[in-house]
Amino acid sequence: MGAASNSSVDGNVAAPATAKSKPGYGSDVRESDFGPMFAWPCQTENQVINLHKVSCAPVVLACMFYWNNFSLPAVLYLVLHGTYSMMWLAKYLCYPPKNFENPPGVAGSVILYVITGLYWITPFMLCAHTYEISVPLLALVITTFNAGIFLHYVGDCQLHFTLLHRGPGLVDTGLFARTRNPGYLGEALIYVAFALLSGCYTSWIVNFVFWFTLFRKNMNKKDESISRYPGWKEYAAKSNQFLPKINLIRDLKSLFPQPADADASFSKKD
C-alpha cells in the first residue's frame, strides 16, 4: 500500500498500517490473512459461522419434511433464510468479516455452532403448525427482509473496501453516517422478518437474547476500538450505535434545494 492509502476519503486521518494485526476489532484488514471457507477443526469463528450458514437450508427442509408442512409460510421461510445464507457465503468469498477471525478451538467451535443453532428454533416452530399468511403480513415480511439484506450486505461491503483501500480510521459516511452498525441493524431486520413469518413468540425471545448479548457486546467492542481515531467525538454525536440518528425536519429539508443553493444554481446558468 502506498502513502495515499493512509489518507481518509471522508476527512479522517487513518492510523498507519502495522506490520501485522491481530484479528478482530481494530485490526488492519489489509494485513488480515483469511483462511478457507470451511475447515475442521475450525480455525476461525468465521468458519464455524460458515458451517452454520451452509446447514440452514437442509435443516429447514428437514423441519418441513418432519412436520409435512409445505405451506406458503414454510416455503417462503426456506427461500428467504436459504438465500440469506448463500449471500453470507458469497460475502465471505468477496469481503470476509475480519472481526470473526479469532481462533475458537475445538470446544469453542462446537459451542458456537450450537449457540447459532438456536436460530433454528424459528423454522421448527413455524413448520410445527400450518396457517394461512395474510397479504399485509406477507408484504411486511418481504419488505423487512429486503431492507435488512440491503443494510447488512451493503454496509459490510462499504466498510470492508473503505478500510482495504484507505487503511484504518473512522468510516462515517454513506450507510455509516447515522448509525455506526448498519450491518447489525440489517441482520436484526432479517431476523425480525423471520420472526414475523413464524407467527411464534419463541422466535422473538431467541432474537432478543442475541440482540442484547452478542450484538450489544460486539457493538460496544467496536465503539471502544474506533474511539481512538481522530473525529470520534464528532462522529459519536451525529450517529447512534444501532438505530439511525434522525432529525426529521432537517432531513426533509435536505431533500429539496435551499434558497442559497437555488441562487447559486441560477448564477451558474447566467
CA atoms of 213 and 40, how far apart (whole Å): 27
pLDDT band at 250 (very low <50, low <70, confident <90, very high): confident
Residues 6+ away with beta carbon under 8 Å from 184: 215, 218, 219, 242
Q: What is the pLDDT of residue 15?
A: 44
Instruction: Report how far residue 31's alpha carbon sits from residue 38's, in angstroms, rounded to the nearest whole number.
Output: 21
pLDDT score, position 204: 97
Q: What is d(CA 145, CA 87) in angstroms, rounded to the nearest whole number?
A: 13
Q: Is the pLDDT assigned to residue 22 strictly greater than 80?
A: no
Instruction: Look at residue 219 and tell me whether its pLDDT is greater than 60.
Output: yes
Residue 10: per-residue pLDDT: 45
Q: Which three cell numbers stand for residue 262?
A: 437555488
Q: CB-based burial of residue 159 (10 Å sphere; 0-12 exposed, 13-18 middle, 19+ buried)?
A: buried
- The domain segmentation of the chain, as residue ranges, is 32-132, 138-258
Beta-carbon contacts of 55 under 8 Å, excluding residues fewer than 6 positions away, are none
What is the pLDDT, as a whole number, of residue 1?
Answer: 36
175 close to 163: Cβ distance less than 8 angstroms: no
Q: What is the mean pLDDT of residues 194-215?
A: 96
Tens of pLDDT, residue by residue over 78-117, are 999 999 999 999 999 999 998 899 999 999 999 999 999 9
Does residue 20 register a pLDDT over 80?
no
The predicted pLDDT at position 115 comes to 96
The per-residue DSSP string of the chain comes to --GGGGB-TTSPBPPPPPSS--SSTT--GGG-----S--SS-SSHHHHHHHHHHHHHHHHHHHHHHTT---HHHHHHHHHHHHHHHHHHHHHHHS--GGG-S--HHHHHHHHHHHHGGGGHHHHHHHHS--PPPHHHHHHHHHHHHHHHIIIIIHHHHHHHHHHHH-SS---SGGGTTBS-HHHHHHHHHHHHHHHHHT-HHHHHHHHHHIIIIIHHHHHHHHHHHTTSTTHHHHHHH-BSSSPP--HHHHHHTTS--HHHHHHHHHHH-
- Contact present, 197 and 141 (Cβ < 8 Å): yes
Work out the average pLDDT over 257-268: 60
d(CA 25, CA 163): 12
Measured over the CA atoms of residue 136, residue 72, residue 77 and residue 95, the dihedral's sign is negative
pLDDT of residue 263: 54
Quote the pLDDT of residue 248: 82
